[in-house]
Structure 1
């Protein structure tokens, strides 16, 4: 859809050949989604330890974040489950990759906050990862500035 907006294609206009092929590829891959299985149970009823691990990343087309829950129980031992993921397409106006990486980190932080609040989790550890050193430096600088002004 974003590509259509950028090309200013009307509803009745024919699609360019490249977009037609992309759409056909997407439609052909949809049946494979039936093979996807997602377990419903996040963690066993008797869980001694819950940890949250989040990852974020970006590309020149989109950015996203995902959260895993690691639980430890006497019945099943350690269990790691993908809890959720969220993505955003790049803005129509061009933004630098470092800025998108920062957007991905913000998305991850917001997602973790929503999950912990909604599920009322008491986690022993919450760890969030970004592979962008620029983003990590920006976050550290911002927290240092806040400490100075406090």
Structure 2
């Protein structure tokens, strides 16, 4: 009889322990909560505003992005629709890396955006080297 009572008591305590929520119990050090990864800022475009604006007055020199299909893929990777008109372009070097500057319409009518991308720019990897927004005169 004592054995049956002990078994019933064990079953009752076990059931009660399983039904109750244990609450928050620390599982050890949680150092990942404090880790943050800061991305490096995009370097500044090594052109003055006037040099960017001068690109509007000459024929685009696309270099490695001369193929329209490749250029469209690059624009897609940058978040621009295929119909985006490139207003100017030329080769450039940013921090020792070769690239192509693409001048595109800005978010507002009075601005343009200059994006320096890697010559291998495509829809999956733009290789954005630098960018700037310039106000039109």
TM-score normalised to structure 1 length: 0.20
Report the structure number with the largest CA radius of gyration: 2
Structure with the higher fraction of residues in strand conformation: 1
